[in-house]
Amino acid sequence: MAGTKTLTIIKPGAVRNEYVGPILAKINANGFHIAALKLIRLTKEQAERFYSVHREKHFFRSLINFMTSGQVVVAILEKENAVAEYRKLMGATDPLKAEKGTIRKLFAENIERNAVHGSDSDENAEIECNFFFARSERFSNFDT
């Protein structure tokens, strides 16, 4: 059975451009419950650990510099089939390839400064939610 949560990060470019409100509104309008939310600034160590799968990629250094360049909003989003549903709402990694109406089409600057992160599997959603949030900071509609 598909999971009910995913982790999103509203990236520094979108926070700087005052897109936090519009992006959260779109998330809510698409039926996601916000189960946890905070505004933080990632340390270099946190950003490197979070994106460690991309360590060997040509864009890794640039991505880390960008992700630590300002505040980010991190949030746990809940919905049935959350990972796939949110990736659909987010759109393709490259905003030039993202479908009309998606968050990245509307708010991204380019392939790196692409407005939001979304988990890519239930397994990673679990890891990423634990990366940012203690149990006491979560307000799930699904857990009993």
Residues acting as catalytic residues: 117
Site membership for ligand GDP, residue 109 (CB under 6 A): no
If DSSP codes are grouped into helix, strand and coil, which group holds residue 35?
strand
If DSSP codes are grouped into helix, strand and coil, which group holds residue 96?
coil
Stretch that binds ligand GDP, among 35-43, 59-67, 95-103, 136-144 (CB under 6 A): 59-67
Taking the complex as a whole, the smallest distance from the CB of residue 87 to ligand GDP amounts, in Å, to 8
**Tokens standing for 10?**
């509203």
Binder of ligand GDP out of 46, 84, 120, 138 (CB under 6 A):
120
Taking the complex as a whole, the smallest distance from the CB of residue 139 to ligand GDP amounts, in Å, to 26
Q: Largest alpha-carbon pair distance within the chain? A: 44
For residue 88, the number of C-alpha atoms closer than 13 Å in the C-beta half-sphere is 9
Which residues between 65 and 104 bind ligand GDP (CB under 6 A)?
A: 93
Cβ atoms of residues 4 and 78 within 8 Å: yes
Taking the complex as a whole, the smallest distance from the CB of residue 101 to ligand GDP amounts, in Å, to 17
Site membership for ligand GDP, residue 114 (CB under 6 A): yes
Taking the complex as a whole, the smallest distance from the CB of residue 103 to ligand GDP amounts, in Å, to 11
CB-CB neighbours of 39 under 10 Å: 12
The rounded distance, in Å, linking the Cα atoms of 14 and 127 is 24
Site membership for ligand GDP, residue 107 (CB under 6 A): no
Site membership for ligand GDP, residue 112 (CB under 6 A): yes
Return the closest-CA partner of residue 103 out of 20, 16, 12: 20
Which residues of this protein are in contact with ligand GDP, per CB under 6 A? 54, 59, 62-63, 93, 111-112, 114, 117, 120
